[in-house]
Amino acid sequence: MKLITYEKDSKSFIGSIDEGGIVAFENDPSIPKDMLGFLDEGLSSMEKAKSLHADKKNRIALSDVNLEAPISRPPKIIAIGLNYSDHLEEVKAAGRDVDKPEVPMIFNKQSLAANGPYSEVHDPSVSEMLDFEGELTIVIGKKCRHVAKEDAHEVIAGYTIANDFSVRDWQLRVPTFTIGKSFDTHCPFGPAIVTPDEITDPHNLDIKTFVNGEERQSSNTKYLMFNCFDLVEHLSTAFTLEPGDLILTGTPGGVGVVEGKFLKQGDVVKVEIAELGYIENKIIDEPL
């Protein structure tokens, strides 16, 4: 299934979507009303949702709703740096003294960075170095700790698309990346959480990013240096992962900072991942 959160008549609902339209989970009162509750209930909710989804009647047209971030406020937004070999090489070519990571490079984005798949993204008033990073993103579905790599697939609810917007001068002027990655609106994701049974292989998906229609990133998730299951194992060794946690797996080469091409008011950034769809966000000046 493709799990979504949508807004209709100024209220938020959860459901699933396919070519026939949207299935409203509110049609079964026993299903939790928000995505975190849905994920937390686990297999029970998922089976009820599958039953609803199988009924081809009572669909809502996509044109009648607005898609929101699948999870309005994720418990954790965890991100990985330098996880594609081509991105590592372009960073080195730009003059940064970095080696291939021996372990995943971890940082956080604050939860208020979460944003809708088609929502506007703020260009900060304090910087002229806003950049994009299209990324495959893991959504955790079970509370877990010390997960072995071979079992990691069992705790993943699904996959989605995120754009790890980055304020480069704020990111790189301190040893840790968090503040430059955490501005409000700087983690749009969606449009859906795609359950693993609908994905051929999460480690063989084409990923592309476009700015104003110009292709800027083009790669495949097979080039991840630490794959999705590696990351779940590594992170869960240190701390508990919870339903609704996001893990942004890293971005391929082609980011704007390498050529000094930064985003500005009016730009439109689109990230596509095969089998997951796309997200598209317009850049606006930060409201003051």
CATH code assigned at 98: 3.90.850.10
Provide the pairing of β-strand 114-115 with 187-194.
parallel
Express as a percent the part of the chain with pLDDT over 90. Answer: 91
pLDDT-based confidence at 32, cuts 50/70/90?
very high
Residue ending a domain, among 46, 68, 90, is 68
Domain that holds residue 277: 77-285
Q: Are both 259 and 123 inside the same structural domain? A: yes
Q: Are both 81 and 64 inside the same structural domain? A: no
Which tokens sit at 83? Answer: 């996880």
Judged on CB neighbours under 10 Å (0-12, 13-18, 19+), 133 is buried
Whose CA is closest to 160, among 262, 31, 279? 279
Is 15 in contact with 48 (CB distance < 8 Å)? no
Residue ending a domain, among 42, 68, 94, is 68
Backbone angles phi, psi at 26, to 5 degrees: -65, -15
How many separate domains does the chain show? Answer: 2
CA distance readout (Å), 274 to 46, 148, 207, 270:
23, 27, 7, 13
Q: Are both 18 and 140 inside the same structural domain? A: no
Q: Are both 163 and 270 inside the same structural domain? A: yes
One DSSP character per residue, 16-35 reads EEETTEEEEGGGSTTS-SSH
Q: pTM surpassing 0.75?
A: yes
Q: Are both 60 and 81 inside the same structural domain? A: no
Least confident interval from 17-21, 84-88, 143-147: 84-88
Q: Are both 15 and 106 inside the same structural domain? A: no
Q: Are both 92 and 214 inside the same structural domain? A: yes
- The radius of gyration of the chain from alpha carbons, rounded to an integer in Å, stands at 18
Q: Are both 167 and 276 inside the same structural domain? A: yes
Amino acid letter, residue 146: H
Q: Are both 143 and 202 inside the same structural domain? A: yes
Task: Provide the 3-class DSSP secondary structure of residue 207.
Answer: strand
Which tokens sit at 259? Answer: 């050529």
Any idea what the Cα angle at residue 224 is, between residues 146 and 91, rounded to 5°? 115
pLDDT-based confidence at 89, cuts 50/70/90?
confident
Q: Are both 55 and 126 inside the same structural domain? A: no
Q: Are both 119 and 260 inside the same structural domain? A: yes
Is 114 in contact with 183 (CB distance < 8 Å)? no
Summary mean pLDDT of the chain: 96
Angstrom distance (rounded) from CA 164 to CA 64? 29
Is 256 in contact with 131 (CB distance < 8 Å)? yes
Residue ending a domain, among 68, 89, 117, is 68
Q: Are both 141 and 206 inside the same structural domain? A: yes
